[in-house]
Amino acid sequence: MARILLATFGSLGDLHPYIAVGQALQARGHVARLATCEDYRASVAAAGLEFAPLAPNLSDLGDPEALARRVFDPLRGTQHLVQELLMPHLRESHQQLRSAAADAELLISHPLTFMLQVVAAEQNKPWLSSVLAPASFLSRDDPPVMVPINSMQLARRMGPWVYDGMRRFIKHTLRRWEQPLHTYRRELGLPASEKVMLFEGQFSARGTLALFDAPLMAPQPDWPAHTRICGTPLFDGAAADPQILAQLDAFLAQGEPPLVFALGSSAVWLGARFWPAAIAAAAALGRRAILITGAGKVPQLPPTVRAFNYLPYSRVFPHACAVIHQAGIGTLSQALRAGRPQLITPLAFDQPDNAARAVKLGVARTIPFRRASAARLAQQLRPLLTRRSYASAARELAATLNATDGAAVAAAHISDALRQWRE
């Protein structure tokens, strides 16, 4: 038995996969400790894992809607994330991870837990890196779709000289944003590195766990050494109130399968204009609808629409005629397993790339979130609901994905790495 430390930062889409992996590790006889935002302490404890705090706390970062607007800004969102949310907390997160790792044998990093590899070096402990979405690899051979301008794919089509120049520009920009991290590493006496932590610097020489589904991206020649595609580790969050589930079941039984609209746990804060458009689109199509709205307010609903603050996706997506969502990797993974056609409305970060990959698989159509008017939603949903090819592709892909337990595969790779370290 070994204690294994997993560290993550972000939304529920960044938390749930590591809870799933932690539970799979404990099923193999290990002890899993999850270092993450204090906001998630109760969720981690309820899942049966050890909890360790990791700064910053999301609740300390201000109004959730204002925060979402900053980090989802199409031009400066990543800069806000790095410079405002992460860099100011390096010292605190370093001390927290030092404590959390003290009695752990193996450490697992998330792309934004920069200090974990510092702690691994200080304590001479092995660590593995992990990614949740294909976009994190920033592959030269399969570049991600980006917003607001799809710069990397456009540059690649223009030739190696342009593409290499674009990559150098992106790396230079990211390096400037994360300069406090490199300064702090020097203060700690660690060797200087030219690697960009949001680029190639996040990866461990011992191996990387690709915690996404294999059909989304094939292994690429420029991936880090010892990368293993595990499949998505699924954890569906807290159990829903039985009364809420009874209301869901009653609505489902009243008519044909509804459209299901969901925006994950972060984009949902920006749904004020989206929900009225969703209601109007459903009306234009003559379809019933379910809205999963978080804590956001929704307009008065017609009898054919129900709104729920929270529902486990695995409980509702399989009953949809189509799923409309923002393509956070966790939401996408649940939608793919539901075997239903999807309309994807991405905002930023990995979401546009996730959406593009789902479209290539023949299971989805996509429009940008900021263009998701009622008319456009209805226009894109019509072919999803009438062309058999989407439903057929979705069912076939779901059958493949549901045969893989991503958490168990990841836990097996972690156990193998630990065994090699011990030897």
Alpha carbon of residue 350 to chain centroid: 8
CA angle 195, 148, 212 (to 5 degrees): 60
- Residue 230's closest CA among 24, 27, 50, 423? 24
- Whether 149 has a pLDDT exceeding 60, the answer reads no
Picking from 288, 301, 281, 302, the residue whose alpha carbon sits closest to that of residue 371 is: 281
What is the CB-side half-sphere exposure of residue 181 using CA atoms within 13 A?
Answer: 27
Region of poorest pLDDT, from 114-128, 234-248, 341-355, 360-374:
234-248
Of 332, 273, 388, the C-alpha closest to 281 is: 273
- The predicted-structure confidence for 283-309, as pLDDT tens digits, reads as follows 999 999 999 998 777 888 999 999 999
Q: What is the mean pLDDT of the chain?
A: 92
Q: Which long-range contacts (CB under 8 A, 24 or more apart) does 224-229 make?
A: 224/129, 224/137, 224/200, 228/409, 228/413
Name the amino acid, one letter, at 420.
Q
What percentage of the chain has pLDDT greater than the value 90? 75
All structural domains of the chain, each given as residue ranges with its CATH number in brackets, are 3-148+199-231+404-422 (3.40.50.2000), 242-401 (3.40.50.2000)
pLDDT category, 159, cuts 50, 70, 90?
low
pLDDT band (50, 70, 90) for residue 116 = very high
Contact 353, 133 (CB under 8 A): yes
115 φ, ψ to 5°? Answer: -80, -10
Interval 69-87 mean pLDDT: 89
pLDDT at 268: 85
pTM for this model (two decimals) = 0.94
Contact criterion met (CB below 8 Å) for 358 and 256: no
The pLDDT assigned to 154 comes to 65
Give me the half-sphere count of Cα atoms (radius 13 Å) on the Cβ side of residue 64: 16
Residue 106 sits at φ, ψ, to 5 deg, of -145, 140
DSSP-assigned states of every residue in 195-224: --TTTGGG--TT-EEE-S-GGG----TTSP
Strand partners, 325: 344
Checking if the pLDDT of 422 tops 70, the result is yes
Is residue 156 very low, low, confident or very high in pLDDT (cuts 50, 70, 90)? Answer: low
